[in-house]
Copies of this chain bind each other. A is one copy, B any other.
Amino acid sequence: MASTDNETDLIALIAANQLQQPDTDNLILGIGDDAAIIRVSENYDLVSCTDTLVAGVHFPLQTSAYDIGWKSLAVNISDLAAMAATPRFAQLALTLPTADINWLREFLAGWQALASEYNIGLIGGDTTRGPLSITVQAMGEIPQGQALLRGRAKLGDVLVVSGDLGSAARALQQLQAGEAMDSELALELNRPQPRVALGQALHGLASSAIDLSDGLALDAQRLMAGSGLGAKIQLQQLPLKSTLAALSQSQRYSLAVSGGDDYELLFTLPAELQNRLAEISSAANISLTVIGEIQANPVVELLADDGGLFTPSFKAYEHFNENR
Protein backbone atom coordinates (compact mmCIF):
# COMPACT_ATOMS: atom_id res chain seq x y z
CA MET A 1 0.00 0.00 0.00
CA ALA A 2 0.84 3.55 0.61
CA SER A 3 2.85 4.83 -2.28
CA THR A 4 1.88 8.12 -3.86
CA ASP A 5 3.28 10.63 -6.31
CA ASN A 6 5.49 12.25 -3.73
CA GLU A 7 6.29 8.95 -2.20
CA THR A 8 7.11 7.55 -5.58
CA ASP A 9 9.74 10.27 -5.79
CA LEU A 10 11.26 9.07 -2.56
CA ILE A 11 11.23 5.47 -3.69
CA ALA A 12 12.68 6.50 -7.05
CA LEU A 13 15.45 8.28 -5.20
CA ILE A 14 16.07 5.23 -3.11
CA ALA A 15 15.95 2.91 -6.08
CA ALA A 16 17.90 4.87 -8.64
CA ASN A 17 19.91 7.68 -7.23
CA GLN A 18 22.07 6.37 -4.49
CA LEU A 19 21.79 2.72 -3.85
CA GLN A 20 23.24 0.22 -6.24
CA GLN A 21 21.77 -3.23 -6.09
CA PRO A 22 24.07 -5.86 -4.68
CA ASP A 23 26.11 -8.00 -7.00
CA THR A 24 24.51 -11.35 -6.29
CA ASP A 25 22.59 -14.10 -8.00
CA ASN A 26 20.40 -14.25 -4.90
CA LEU A 27 18.37 -11.19 -5.85
CA ILE A 28 15.66 -12.17 -8.32
CA LEU A 29 13.62 -8.96 -8.09
CA GLY A 30 14.45 -5.77 -6.17
CA ILE A 31 12.59 -2.51 -5.56
CA GLY A 32 9.68 -1.61 -7.80
CA ASP A 33 7.03 -4.31 -7.60
CA ASP A 34 4.58 -5.36 -4.89
CA ALA A 35 7.30 -7.37 -3.18
CA ALA A 36 10.92 -8.41 -3.64
CA ILE A 37 12.00 -11.92 -4.61
CA ILE A 38 15.16 -13.52 -3.31
CA ARG A 39 16.68 -16.95 -3.73
CA VAL A 40 18.30 -18.54 -0.71
CA SER A 41 21.53 -20.38 -1.56
CA GLU A 42 21.37 -24.16 -1.62
CA ASN A 43 21.85 -25.71 1.83
CA TYR A 44 21.47 -22.33 3.49
CA ASP A 45 18.70 -20.96 5.69
CA LEU A 46 17.35 -17.44 5.72
CA VAL A 47 17.88 -15.42 8.91
CA SER A 48 15.54 -12.47 9.40
CA CYS A 49 15.11 -9.76 12.02
CA THR A 50 13.48 -6.36 12.43
CA ASP A 51 14.12 -3.36 14.65
CA THR A 52 12.52 0.06 14.95
CA LEU A 53 14.23 3.32 15.81
CA VAL A 54 11.94 6.09 17.06
CA ALA A 55 13.25 9.67 17.12
CA GLY A 56 13.88 10.83 20.67
CA VAL A 57 13.63 7.29 21.99
CA HIS A 58 16.33 5.35 20.14
CA PHE A 59 18.42 8.29 19.05
CA PRO A 60 18.65 11.89 20.25
CA LEU A 61 16.57 14.36 18.25
CA GLN A 62 19.73 16.21 17.14
CA THR A 63 21.23 13.09 15.53
CA SER A 64 22.25 13.72 11.93
CA ALA A 65 20.30 12.05 9.13
CA TYR A 66 23.53 10.34 8.06
CA ASP A 67 24.00 8.77 11.47
CA ILE A 68 20.33 7.74 11.69
CA GLY A 69 20.70 5.99 8.33
CA TRP A 70 23.82 4.19 9.46
CA LYS A 71 22.46 3.23 12.86
CA SER A 72 19.06 1.99 11.68
CA LEU A 73 20.81 -0.54 9.46
CA ALA A 74 23.61 -1.29 11.93
CA VAL A 75 21.36 -2.36 14.81
CA ASN A 76 19.68 -4.89 12.53
CA ILE A 77 22.93 -6.20 11.08
CA SER A 78 24.10 -6.60 14.66
CA ASP A 79 21.24 -9.06 15.25
CA LEU A 80 22.28 -11.06 12.20
CA ALA A 81 25.91 -10.98 13.39
CA ALA A 82 24.84 -12.50 16.71
CA MET A 83 23.38 -15.45 14.76
CA ALA A 84 26.66 -15.85 12.78
CA ALA A 85 24.72 -15.04 9.59
CA THR A 86 26.02 -13.29 6.49
CA PRO A 87 23.94 -10.15 5.85
CA ARG A 88 22.42 -9.99 2.37
CA PHE A 89 19.34 -7.78 2.05
CA ALA A 90 17.33 -5.17 3.90
CA GLN A 91 13.94 -3.50 3.66
CA LEU A 92 13.37 0.03 4.88
CA ALA A 93 10.09 1.37 6.27
CA LEU A 94 10.60 5.07 6.75
CA THR A 95 8.09 7.34 8.42
CA LEU A 96 8.91 11.02 7.90
CA PRO A 97 7.14 14.17 9.12
CA THR A 98 7.84 15.89 5.78
CA ALA A 99 9.16 14.90 2.37
CA ASP A 100 12.60 16.42 2.94
CA ILE A 101 14.74 15.23 0.05
CA ASN A 102 17.96 16.60 1.53
CA TRP A 103 17.36 14.79 4.78
CA LEU A 104 16.63 11.61 2.83
CA ARG A 105 19.80 11.92 0.76
CA GLU A 106 21.87 12.21 3.92
CA PHE A 107 20.01 9.33 5.52
CA LEU A 108 20.66 7.14 2.49
CA ALA A 109 24.32 8.17 2.38
CA GLY A 110 24.74 6.93 5.95
CA TRP A 111 22.79 3.77 5.21
CA GLN A 112 24.80 3.06 2.09
CA ALA A 113 28.15 3.63 3.78
CA LEU A 114 27.41 0.63 5.98
CA ALA A 115 25.49 -1.36 3.37
CA SER A 116 28.46 -1.16 0.99
CA GLU A 117 30.77 -2.70 3.58
CA TYR A 118 28.67 -5.86 3.52
CA ASN A 119 27.20 -5.69 0.01
CA ILE A 120 23.70 -5.44 1.50
CA GLY A 121 21.00 -4.71 -1.05
CA LEU A 122 18.00 -2.52 -0.26
CA ILE A 123 15.27 -4.60 -1.85
CA GLY A 124 12.08 -2.92 -0.73
CA GLY A 125 10.38 -0.62 1.66
CA ASP A 126 7.67 1.83 2.37
CA THR A 127 7.69 5.58 2.97
CA THR A 128 4.90 7.08 5.01
CA ARG A 129 4.08 10.38 6.64
CA GLY A 130 4.14 10.60 10.41
CA PRO A 131 6.45 11.15 13.39
CA LEU A 132 10.05 10.24 12.45
CA SER A 133 10.56 6.53 12.86
CA ILE A 134 12.56 3.93 10.98
CA THR A 135 11.86 0.21 10.87
CA VAL A 136 14.41 -1.94 9.11
CA GLN A 137 14.10 -5.60 8.34
CA ALA A 138 17.35 -7.36 7.57
CA MET A 139 17.91 -10.75 6.00
CA GLY A 140 20.98 -12.90 5.94
CA GLU A 141 22.00 -16.42 5.09
CA ILE A 142 23.56 -19.15 7.15
CA PRO A 143 24.59 -22.70 6.28
CA GLN A 144 21.80 -24.94 7.55
CA GLY A 145 22.24 -25.88 11.20
CA GLN A 146 25.09 -23.45 11.88
CA ALA A 147 23.29 -20.53 13.52
CA LEU A 148 24.64 -19.32 16.85
CA LEU A 149 21.75 -19.29 19.33
CA ARG A 150 20.98 -18.07 22.83
CA GLY A 151 20.27 -20.43 25.70
CA ARG A 152 22.93 -23.01 24.83
CA ALA A 153 25.60 -22.14 27.38
CA LYS A 154 27.15 -25.03 29.33
CA LEU A 155 28.76 -25.30 32.74
CA GLY A 156 32.46 -24.83 32.21
CA ASP A 157 31.96 -22.04 29.67
CA VAL A 158 33.45 -18.63 30.10
CA LEU A 159 31.62 -15.43 29.20
CA VAL A 160 33.33 -13.23 26.60
CA VAL A 161 32.51 -9.78 25.24
CA SER A 162 33.85 -7.95 22.21
CA GLY A 163 35.05 -4.35 22.03
CA ASP A 164 34.33 -2.12 24.99
CA LEU A 165 31.22 -1.28 26.97
CA GLY A 166 29.44 1.85 28.09
CA SER A 167 30.96 4.21 25.50
CA ALA A 168 27.72 4.97 23.67
CA ALA A 169 25.88 5.38 26.96
CA ARG A 170 28.51 7.82 28.20
CA ALA A 171 28.17 9.87 25.01
CA LEU A 172 24.42 10.02 25.53
CA GLN A 173 24.95 11.03 29.14
CA GLN A 174 27.20 13.90 28.03
CA LEU A 175 24.63 15.01 25.50
CA GLN A 176 21.80 14.88 28.01
CA ALA A 177 23.88 16.90 30.47
CA GLY A 178 24.35 19.59 27.84
CA GLU A 179 28.07 18.84 27.53
CA ALA A 180 29.99 18.37 24.30
CA MET A 181 30.20 14.71 23.41
CA ASP A 182 33.68 13.21 23.32
CA SER A 183 34.11 12.56 19.60
CA GLU A 184 35.34 9.00 20.04
CA LEU A 185 32.37 8.18 22.27
CA ALA A 186 29.92 9.93 19.93
CA LEU A 187 31.08 7.65 17.15
CA GLU A 188 30.19 4.63 19.27
CA LEU A 189 26.73 6.07 19.90
CA ASN A 190 25.97 7.12 16.33
CA ARG A 191 27.84 4.62 14.16
CA PRO A 192 27.95 1.27 15.87
CA GLN A 193 29.94 -1.38 14.03
CA PRO A 194 28.05 -4.66 13.81
CA ARG A 195 30.36 -7.58 14.61
CA VAL A 196 29.66 -9.62 11.51
CA ALA A 197 33.14 -11.13 11.12
CA LEU A 198 33.20 -12.03 14.80
CA GLY A 199 29.88 -13.86 14.65
CA GLN A 200 31.13 -15.95 11.77
CA ALA A 201 34.49 -16.58 13.42
CA LEU A 202 32.69 -18.04 16.43
CA HIS A 203 31.21 -20.89 14.40
CA GLY A 204 32.02 -24.23 15.94
CA LEU A 205 33.58 -22.57 18.97
CA ALA A 206 31.05 -20.47 20.90
CA SER A 207 28.15 -22.29 22.55
CA SER A 208 25.79 -19.29 22.50
CA ALA A 209 25.75 -15.59 21.58
CA ILE A 210 23.67 -12.41 21.73
CA ASP A 211 24.26 -8.84 20.66
CA LEU A 212 24.31 -6.18 23.36
CA SER A 213 21.67 -3.56 22.75
CA ASP A 214 19.98 -2.93 26.09
CA GLY A 215 22.94 -3.24 28.41
CA LEU A 216 25.10 -6.12 29.56
CA ALA A 217 23.03 -6.97 32.65
CA LEU A 218 19.74 -7.44 30.81
CA ASP A 219 21.21 -9.00 27.69
CA ALA A 220 23.28 -11.47 29.73
CA GLN A 221 20.00 -12.61 31.32
CA ARG A 222 18.57 -13.09 27.85
CA LEU A 223 21.64 -15.01 26.73
CA MET A 224 21.23 -17.40 29.66
CA ALA A 225 17.43 -17.75 29.39
CA GLY A 226 16.54 -21.27 28.39
CA SER A 227 19.91 -22.69 29.38
CA GLY A 228 18.87 -23.36 32.98
CA LEU A 229 22.14 -21.76 34.02
CA GLY A 230 23.39 -18.38 35.18
CA ALA A 231 26.55 -16.33 35.01
CA LYS A 232 29.00 -14.52 37.28
CA ILE A 233 30.40 -11.34 35.80
CA GLN A 234 33.54 -9.76 37.29
CA LEU A 235 33.06 -6.04 36.77
CA GLN A 236 36.76 -5.41 37.27
CA GLN A 237 37.34 -7.26 34.02
CA LEU A 238 34.91 -5.21 31.91
CA PRO A 239 36.60 -3.58 28.91
CA LEU A 240 36.15 0.21 29.22
CA LYS A 241 37.58 3.03 27.17
CA SER A 242 40.22 5.10 28.95
CA THR A 243 38.05 8.19 28.47
CA LEU A 244 35.75 6.75 31.14
CA ALA A 245 38.55 6.68 33.72
CA ALA A 246 37.65 10.12 35.06
CA LEU A 247 34.28 8.82 36.27
CA SER A 248 33.68 7.14 39.60
CA GLN A 249 33.87 3.37 39.61
CA SER A 250 30.13 3.15 40.27
CA GLN A 251 29.39 5.41 37.30
CA ARG A 252 31.72 3.44 35.02
CA TYR A 253 30.25 0.11 36.01
CA SER A 254 26.71 1.41 35.73
CA LEU A 255 27.31 2.68 32.21
CA ALA A 256 28.86 -0.64 31.22
CA VAL A 257 26.14 -2.89 32.64
CA SER A 258 23.02 -0.75 32.13
CA GLY A 259 23.92 1.73 29.43
CA GLY A 260 22.82 -0.01 26.29
CA ASP A 261 23.62 0.73 22.64
CA ASP A 262 26.91 -1.18 22.75
CA TYR A 263 26.20 -3.51 19.79
CA GLU A 264 29.02 -5.78 20.85
CA LEU A 265 28.65 -9.56 20.94
CA LEU A 266 28.40 -11.39 24.24
CA PHE A 267 29.11 -15.09 23.92
CA THR A 268 29.90 -18.22 25.85
CA LEU A 269 32.92 -20.37 25.07
CA PRO A 270 34.10 -23.67 26.56
CA ALA A 271 36.91 -22.75 28.97
CA GLU A 272 39.33 -25.06 27.19
CA LEU A 273 38.93 -22.97 24.03
CA GLN A 274 40.12 -19.74 25.68
CA ASN A 275 43.47 -20.25 24.00
CA ARG A 276 41.67 -19.65 20.68
CA LEU A 277 40.55 -16.15 21.65
CA ALA A 278 43.65 -14.36 20.32
CA GLU A 279 43.20 -16.07 16.97
CA ILE A 280 39.46 -15.21 16.82
CA SER A 281 40.18 -11.63 17.85
CA SER A 282 42.74 -11.32 15.11
CA ALA A 283 40.46 -12.89 12.48
CA ALA A 284 37.56 -10.59 13.42
CA ASN A 285 39.74 -7.55 14.07
CA ILE A 286 38.12 -6.79 17.43
CA SER A 287 39.33 -7.13 21.00
CA LEU A 288 37.80 -9.90 23.11
CA THR A 289 37.66 -9.99 26.90
CA VAL A 290 36.72 -12.80 29.27
CA ILE A 291 34.43 -11.15 31.82
CA GLY A 292 33.02 -14.06 33.76
CA GLU A 293 31.90 -17.63 33.80
CA ILE A 294 28.78 -19.74 33.65
CA GLN A 295 27.37 -21.00 36.94
CA ALA A 296 24.69 -23.48 37.99
CA ASN A 297 22.77 -20.82 39.94
CA PRO A 298 20.40 -19.56 37.23
CA VAL A 299 20.89 -15.84 37.79
CA VAL A 300 23.29 -13.27 36.39
CA GLU A 301 25.45 -11.90 39.20
CA LEU A 302 27.41 -8.68 38.81
CA LEU A 303 30.37 -8.86 41.16
CA ALA A 304 32.13 -5.70 42.31
CA ASP A 305 35.85 -5.54 43.04
CA ASP A 306 35.28 -6.61 46.65
CA GLY A 307 33.32 -9.68 45.53
CA GLY A 308 29.98 -8.21 46.63
CA LEU A 309 26.97 -7.82 44.34
CA PHE A 310 26.94 -4.56 42.43
CA THR A 311 23.79 -2.48 42.05
CA PRO A 312 23.85 -0.15 39.03
CA SER A 313 23.00 3.49 39.73
CA PHE A 314 20.45 3.38 36.91
CA LYS A 315 18.42 0.68 35.28
CA ALA A 316 18.53 -0.60 31.75
CA TYR A 317 16.69 1.44 29.22
CA GLU A 318 12.97 0.72 29.30
CA HIS A 319 10.88 1.98 26.46
CA PHE A 320 7.67 1.76 28.36
CA ASN A 321 8.94 3.29 31.54
CA GLU A 322 7.41 6.74 31.44
CA ASN A 323 9.59 7.93 34.28
CA ARG A 324 12.81 7.63 32.42
Interface residues of A (CB under 8 A from B): 1-7, 10, 28-29, 32-40, 45-58, 75, 78-80, 82-83, 85, 89, 91-93, 95-96, 98-99, 123-131, 133, 135, 137-140, 142, 144, 147, 149-151, 209-211, 213-214, 218, 222, 226, 260-261, 263, 316-322
CB <8 Å contact, A99 and B135 = no
Count this chain's copies in the assembly. 2
Q: How far is the CA of A120 from the CA of B135 in the complex (A)?
A: 21
Residues of chain B within 8 A (CB-CB) of A28 are 45, 147
Task: Name 30 interchain pairs, CB-CB below 8 A, sorted by A.
Answer: A1-B58, A1-B211, A2-B58, A4-B214, A4-B320, A5-B218, A5-B316, A7-B319, A28-B147, A32-B150, A34-B82, A34-B150, A34-B210, A35-B49, A35-B140, A36-B48, A37-B48, A39-B40, A39-B46, A48-B91, A48-B123, A49-B91, A49-B124, A51-B126, A52-B95, A54-B130, A57-B128, A98-B320, A129-B320, A135-B135
In the A-B complex, the 6 residue pairs with the closest CB atoms: A1-B213, A54-B130, A35-B49, A99-B320, A129-B319, A135-B135
Q: How far is the CA of A209 from the CA of B33 in the complex (A)?
A: 9
Residue from the list B40, B137, B211 in contact with A137, Cβ < 8 A: B137
Which residue of chain B has the shortest Cβ distance to A28 in the bound complex? B45
Instruction: Using known A-B contacts A29-B147, A137-B91, determine if residue A222 contacts B49 with beta carbons closer than 8 Å.
Output: no
Residue from the list B33, B45, B316 in contact with A37, Cβ < 8 A: B45
Q: How far is the CA of A80 from the CA of B36 in the complex (A)?
A: 9
CB <8 Å contact, B128 and A54 = yes
Q: How far is the CA of A45 from the CA of B38 in the complex (A)?
A: 6
Which residue of chain B has the shortest Cβ distance to A316 in the bound complex? B4
